[in-house]
Structure 1
């Protein structure tokens, strides 16, 4: 399983050169004031290393501020990072972390969130020496959970340039790279280790982390809004992070995000036991960003592409080129579809602009080349899906262009936050066309399966769990469920999570690999011959060599030797970390602990189906509403910057009502909402899809085909290549759905 996402949008480094007076005013206006508390502390023994460490409760007691922590942090800020003073509320957050408190940091994109865990990570050894509670060989490590490979790579490279020992464990690492990383961990030579949340599913990794000398001093959870199931980017994998923190006995946790509304902040605090006195927020307002918006009467390229006839003569290309000529400099043009990115880059290049496309459909090496060239200013314009921008530390991005409607206000805020980090004026243009809502609706509608599909899935899950008792482990194949019941992987993972969150039926636990094999290195045989442990003996005797690889059935070996499966896995991972074998795993099996008796009767399963489907329908409405909120921000009778700040529960500096430099402030009138052209759906218009699909069991499936929404079943039947696919894209989805419901006799 690959580590890290390739299609999100995160990065967090300091502003350089931003007007200091504006920032000071901003802090005074919206910064949260904190009284600093100390914790009850006791000296405990580390497991399994035996090193003394401080165990801190996370309940504040008496107000105080440890100036020692502030002094050390400020010195390291200058020595290692070259800054004279902290900005925003970095100092307060760092002091809380060094004092042992779990902490939440909500800073805008580019405001320096990463320093809030990087400085504590390099301060721990110095504090250990002062306190005399640990030896250097038990220094522990700061573990950073981040969803982006690009961000991990950029930050690790930057830290190494500053002489800070940092590494990342991700799918791009070679076997040799991993050996070096684990060697550094064993020797306490690593201060910061980055990994993706999916890595927490790796049973070998969890066992290895538990054995790090000194343990996990700090667990940093980047993009922590993903923890909230009602946040704009909920990911079930993040549910496991809080459990992981407990399982590995992390000393303290810092959660970081740029896009937490008050409700999302509350969810994060609840998940990680964060006291409100340890929540640090600053406004997303950026005084050097000019927020533009413009309505165009013509159809958007997104609609043209969807209908199969992209047009270079579209007036929006002329508008875009006029904007780019008026505002030269490094620019990101955000689009919704991969085909749009390719087409825009081609057209702009043909018109004499230095432009390139970037999207998840490109090869990794090509994406890296584009990113490197953009960073080096060899390419001036990148036309990208949301896959570009994460981890990009380029201070002089002058323009951000939104070609289509952002999916959420949070996404819009993150993307414009990439502009003008050098403090100079930068321009953010948002184009609004009649079909702007189409693509957002396309994505939202595609995540809701039909009720019949959901019922079939639940029947299968509960049947597979029949006969199992509470606390037994249920193994499920997510890929097979996705294919069998026509449910996309993302909503499918939400369904599994909801069975846990709302019903308390099953709980996701560490997946297992069904197949283990390894290539023996020259040190394998002498090492295993002298290994007198039961686990070592079992591996040596039971691993069967076939050609290049040794194969081992971990479950069978554990049963035969009367050992715990985890102990066999731990031994294999130790051998791999020490370079005695080159281990390969495959056949991931998702596992769930049964929390209570699973539904078995039709009535019981119907009840779960009804509640779960209502929840999924609510999520669909929520996704559509989030897009509507973006539309309302752009077309509302209010300053853009103020509306953006208020979305996150904050305001503008000094209680100002307007920023004075957005489109609304400069014109005094709202941007006009474009009229949507919608075709009338008739009995005749829905017939071609009925004829081509030959399906009568799922009205929502038929509406998906007509509207242009892909799904496993659509792909399997190759209907996405048929002329009827997207044939009713300019119709109302709900009307289409009801028409198909009537045709197949399911409309009530």
Structure 2
């Protein structure tokens, strides 16, 4: 099994690195959403309607392209209003439910721009520009590109799955203005070569579409600091306009998105998440369990699920037999995917597992089999589902507690996109909160670890003047200070957002090398520019490959070149097939914004504030889980509770959907209960005997509770019998006991 036992990251197929970028926020640009508790109007505000002759012309063209290219006769929801705003040159935010057609809001403008150019005589076809779509999943990009190509729309993606030869074709099409839409992952914006290339696209970036835009917000359920770089990227490449798209934005999250991208209140378009064809059901299985949680969590510990008597399986078998059709079964862990698929297979169901630990080819095969009907049921972690355009999914089953209400809403939104009745079943079991607590507790480092990291960052910036650049290595810091990649990124982002100490800038590669193709020397010698000469004279051959120090090349003969000029030229030679370029040794770079704290007390104040912020995030993560439980076990219609979470309500002011578990029974679902075992001195001693670590009580509590971290894995304690041995205890109680043990050790 993969070391990443938990799929606690929604974007498992991301092209990940560790860059954090933040662009300044204009405090005057706020979204005037209604106050909490009031329902937001479903329709777009009147200001969003463009009744001018120009607006009418834009709409007529959009409708013509909708029919001609996509085969639809009319727009749905607020698609038309959003598209009009984009074509008029405004930025916009689109908040539509999963499957409600958000992608058309940037696809129609992308193919409309050349038509408008011809009608207005604004620019030549060779300067048509391109629409760049920042999208989180490689699989999603592939599906979208394939679908657009089938409709005759020139689209491509740049991602890590592409071979060198395939990328050359994409870059050549960009240079020739032959592409209308280009997809890339947000992490691609870290690549300095990509940024320099995009800056030079003929006609520029007509539109930047930000998919899953809720990731921009610190208050979003999937906040990712990497997304903060997108706002800066907009400025760097001088994108003409921006459209942000999401299915899950609360009023606070929408406000954050609009501030980041200067979106006016009149350009926010949202529709209710309510789907009348979805039957939201929930059932508590094993209402109370007084025994060892390791039995309740037998499947998590690797035992055969059926042999452990988990009653949810019998319920699942009955549900699936009564409700045949394509089904998604969401679980929390990778191992569960494998076991569930095996058990369902033994019962005669055509099921397959899907999780981040599988090879890319395997995951693609599962997805293809599900789309074609060879597989009826996919047992998956949150890694599966984004970008899956399968309209006839009949059931979505939640085996474990969702991380957030937003996550639950997004996942059930994958059912019944064809408008036919579909069921969403949520099983509640005593182990529900344990798994979610594992996810939440794993991201908060100890204060000692955090202090070590902060002091290390300040050390790296020592002697750098304000406005100067310093470099750090995130991978080393993860290992040295026992901090996971995700919280490490959040820490850097917090130092930018709340302390204003520095600002991330484009990372750079420490090493560039290339293989010269037959045409390389002829082309570079014929190119009389200073940059070509600098590359030719500063490339040093080592057997097959040439090494080049881009900084030395830029300083060659004091020609006034900069690093970006060299990188851009190398990428151009690579894209034209004259060289085969490789870059390695990613180094994160930061611009110092103001003088850093100097005295130990000043540094400790930063650590204290930062730790308080991170502890608040942990508390917030736990509260998000409780909100999910509250929605499922509350005394209110499920659909109404879900809509109100997003600041809206049911159509026509209804108080009930009429077909959820609460509406059908008239009473709330009883929540499960789990008896927590009291902590004993002997159980604590067993963990202490397994390791001599005494400098970090939170580390010891993690081992006992069953939470991995870089240090836990490095010491192989996740393979020890004591790992997860106290999973049925209260985490805070464990932390208190291990704190006492560490203090005693320090007093000796």
| Same fold? TM cut 0.5 | yes
Pairing 1:436–2:442 present = no
Partner of 2:298: 304
* Change in CA separation of 1:307 and 1:369 when aligned onto 2, cut-off 3 Å: closer
Partner of 1:93: 82
Partner of 2:57: 68
Match runs of 1:651-670 below 5 Å: 651-670=649-668
Partner of 1:270: 259
- Give the secondary structure class of the aligned counterpart of 1:35: helix
- Give the secondary structure class of the aligned counterpart of 2:727: coil
Question: Among residues 332, 345, 358, which one is paired with 2:328 in the alignment?
Answer: 332
- Give the secondary structure class of the aligned counterpart of 1:108: coil
Match runs of 1:544-583 below 5 Å: 544-562=540-558, 563-583=561-581
Taking the aligned partners of 1:389 and 1:529, their CA distance within structure 2 comes to 51
Asked if 1 retains the 8 angstrom alpha-carbon contact of 2:49 and 2:81, the reply is no
Pairing 1:615–2:641 present = no
Pairing 1:380–2:386 present = no
Partner of 1:279: 268
Partner of 1:692: 690
Question: Among residues 3, 8, 12, which one is paired with 1:6 in the alignment?
Answer: 12
Taking the aligned partners of 2:694 and 2:425, their CA distance within structure 1 comes to 45
* Change in CA separation of 1:64 and 1:101 when aligned onto 2, cut-off 3 Å: farther
State the superposition RMSD in angstroms: 1.8
Partner of 2:151: 162
Question: Among residues 408, 411, 416, which one is paired with 2:412 in the alignment?
Answer: 416
Question: Among residues 43, 67, 85, which one is paired with 1:31 in the alignment?
Answer: 43
Asked if 1 retains the 8 angstrom alpha-carbon contact of 2:511 and 2:548, the reply is yes
- Give the secondary structure class of the aligned counterpart of 2:298: helix
Query: How many angstroms does 1:549 deviate by?
Result: 1.3
Taking the aligned partners of 1:331 and 1:32, their CA distance within structure 2 comes to 34
Match runs of 1:579-594 below 5 Å: 579-594=577-592
Partner of 2:449: 453
Match runs of 1:510-549 below 5 Å: 510-549=506-545
Asked if 2 retains the 8 angstrom alpha-carbon contact of 1:573 and 1:583, the reply is yes
Asked if 1 retains the 8 angstrom alpha-carbon contact of 2:538 and 2:552, the reply is no
Partner of 2:91: 102
Match runs of 1:371-410 below 5 Å: 371-410=367-406
Asked if 2 retains the 8 angstrom alpha-carbon contact of 1:307 and 1:726, the reply is no
Taking the aligned partners of 1:28 and 1:491, their CA distance within structure 2 comes to 34
Asked if 2 retains the 8 angstrom alpha-carbon contact of 1:289 and 1:427, the reply is yes
Taking the aligned partners of 1:228 and 1:158, their CA distance within structure 2 comes to 30
- Give the secondary structure class of the aligned counterpart of 2:297: helix
Query: How many angstroms does 1:28 deviate by?
Result: 12
Match runs of 1:475-490 below 5 Å: 475-490=471-486
Asked if 2 retains the 8 angstrom alpha-carbon contact of 1:302 and 1:439, the reply is no
* Change in CA separation of 1:516 and 1:28 when aligned onto 2, cut-off 3 Å: closer
Taking the aligned partners of 1:65 and 1:310, their CA distance within structure 2 comes to 65
Partner of 1:317: 313
Query: How many angstroms does 1:35 deviate by?
Result: 2.0
Asked if 2 retains the 8 angstrom alpha-carbon contact of 1:37 and 1:64, the reply is no
Partner of 2:6: none
Q: Mind listing any 5+ residue stretches in structure 1 that lack a counterpart?
A: 9-26, 39-61
Match runs of 1:632-651 below 5 Å: 632-651=630-649
Pairing 1:196–2:185 present = yes
Query: How many angstroms does 1:181 deviate by?
Result: 0.8
Taking the aligned partners of 1:697 and 1:272, their CA distance within structure 2 comes to 44
- Give the secondary structure class of the aligned counterpart of 1:391: coil
Asked if 2 retains the 8 angstrom alpha-carbon contact of 1:508 and 1:591, the reply is yes
Partner of 2:166: 177
TM-score by length of 1: 0.92
Asked if 2 retains the 8 angstrom alpha-carbon contact of 1:516 and 1:554, the reply is yes
Pairing 1:118–2:114 present = no
Asked if 1 retains the 8 angstrom alpha-carbon contact of 2:639 and 2:660, the reply is yes
Partner of 1:42: none
* Change in CA separation of 1:384 and 1:104 when aligned onto 2, cut-off 3 Å: same
Asked if 2 retains the 8 angstrom alpha-carbon contact of 1:36 and 1:64, the reply is no
Aligned residue pairs: how many? 704
Superposed CA offset, 1:309-343 (max 9, x none):
44314211111111100100000000000000000
- Give the secondary structure class of the aligned counterpart of 2:743: coil
Taking the aligned partners of 1:30 and 1:367, their CA distance within structure 2 comes to 37
Query: How many angstroms does 1:561 deviate by?
Result: 3.6
Taking the aligned partners of 1:308 and 1:248, their CA distance within structure 2 comes to 50
Taking the aligned partners of 2:339 and 2:48, their CA distance within structure 1 comes to 54
Taking the aligned partners of 2:197 and 2:87, their CA distance within structure 1 comes to 25
Structure 1 window deviating more from structure 2 (192-201 vs 176-185): it is 176-185
Asked if 1 retains the 8 angstrom alpha-carbon contact of 2:538 and 2:548, the reply is yes
Taking the aligned partners of 1:553 and 1:533, their CA distance within structure 2 comes to 18
Runs (4+) off by over 4 Å = 62-65, 298-302
Asked if 1 retains the 8 angstrom alpha-carbon contact of 2:44 and 2:81, the reply is no
Superposed CA offset, 1:367-396 (max 9, x none):
111110100000000001111111111111
Taking the aligned partners of 2:607 and 2:371, their CA distance within structure 1 comes to 50
Asked if 1 retains the 8 angstrom alpha-carbon contact of 2:302 and 2:335, the reply is no
Superposed CA offset, 1:495-547 (max 9, x none):
00001000000111000001111111121111011121111111112211222
Match runs of 1:725-744 below 5 Å: 725-744=723-742
Taking the aligned partners of 1:29 and 1:221, their CA distance within structure 2 comes to 24
Query: How many angstroms does 1:63 deviate by?
Result: 8.0
Superposed CA offset, 1:406-460 (max 9, x none):
0000000000000001111000000001110111100000000000000011111
Partner of 1:52: none
Taking the aligned partners of 1:306 and 1:365, their CA distance within structure 2 comes to 25
Taking the aligned partners of 1:682 and 1:703, their CA distance within structure 2 comes to 14
Taking the aligned partners of 2:456 and 2:464, their CA distance within structure 1 comes to 14
Superposed CA offset, 1:55-105 (max 9, x none):
xxxxxxx98871001101111111011111100000000000000000000
Taking the aligned partners of 2:248 and 2:280, their CA distance within structure 1 comes to 18
Superposed CA offset, 1:442-496 (max 9, x none):
0000000000000011111101111111011110000000000000010000000
Structure 1 window deviating more from structure 2 (162-171 vs 303-312): it is 303-312
Superposed CA offset, 1:648-678 (max 9, x none):
0000011000000100000000000111221
Question: Among residues 487, 492, 495, which one is paired with 2:488 in the alignment?
Answer: 492
Taking the aligned partners of 1:473 and 1:568, their CA distance within structure 2 comes to 19
- Give the secondary structure class of the aligned counterpart of 2:614: helix
- Give the secondary structure class of the aligned counterpart of 1:454: helix
Question: Among residues 674, 686, 711, which one is paired with 1:713 in the alignment?
Answer: 711
Q: Mind listing any 5+ residue stretches in structure 2 that lack a counterpart?
A: 1-9, 15-38
Query: How many angstroms does 1:33 deviate by?
Result: 2.8
